[in-house]
Amino acid sequence: MALTAAQIRSIHEILEVPYSDSYGILDHMGLTECVGATADAAVAAKTAIATAVAALGADSETKVSAIVTEWDALGFKTMSLVAGQVGDVGGMTYDLNERRDLLRQRLQIYLPFYKLHEILERKLREGGLGSNVLRTLMG
C-alpha cells in the first residue's frame, strides 16, 4: 500500500516543506518574481522526502498514514471544546496546535527532516541559499 499523492502533500504540510518546484519572492521594489527552486534546500528536501517515503517499510508506512490521517482530521481548527465539561471547567478548550506539534514530532521519527524555517536558518548561518535575500525575508 503506497501513500497517496494527497498524503504526501500532507507530509509536506506537516514538515513545513514547500511542495512546489518554484516559489515567488519579493524584490526590493515589492514586485513578485517566480524563481525556479531546483537548487533550493526546500526542493532538495522534497526530493529527500519522496525518496524516504518510497523506502518506508509496510509497518512504518502504516504508522505514517495514521499520523497523516489524524493531521488531516484536525483541519484548520485551532481550538476545540473538551467533551464532558461540567461546572467550573465549562468552556475549557484544547489547543490543537499542541496536537499538531506532537504529530509533527512523531512523523519526524519516520521522516527525519527539518522544518522549513530550520532549513532556512541553517542555510543562512552557513552563508548559502541567497543569504542576503534570506536576511531580508527573515528580518
pLDDT tier, 16 (very low <50, low <70, confident <90, very high otherwise): confident
Could you give the 3-state DSSP secondary structure of residue 32?
strand
Predicted pLDDT at 46: 78
The predicted-structure confidence for 52-62, as pLDDT tens digits, reads as follows 899 999 999 99
Q: 114 and 41 in contact (C-beta within 8 Å)?
A: no
Higher per-residue pLDDT: 30 or 76: 76
Question: pTM of the predicted model, to two decimals?
Answer: 0.64
Give the H or E element holding residue 13. helix 5-15
Could you give the 3-state DSSP secondary structure of residue 79?
strand
Distance (Å, rounded) from C-alpha 105 to C-alpha 20? 23
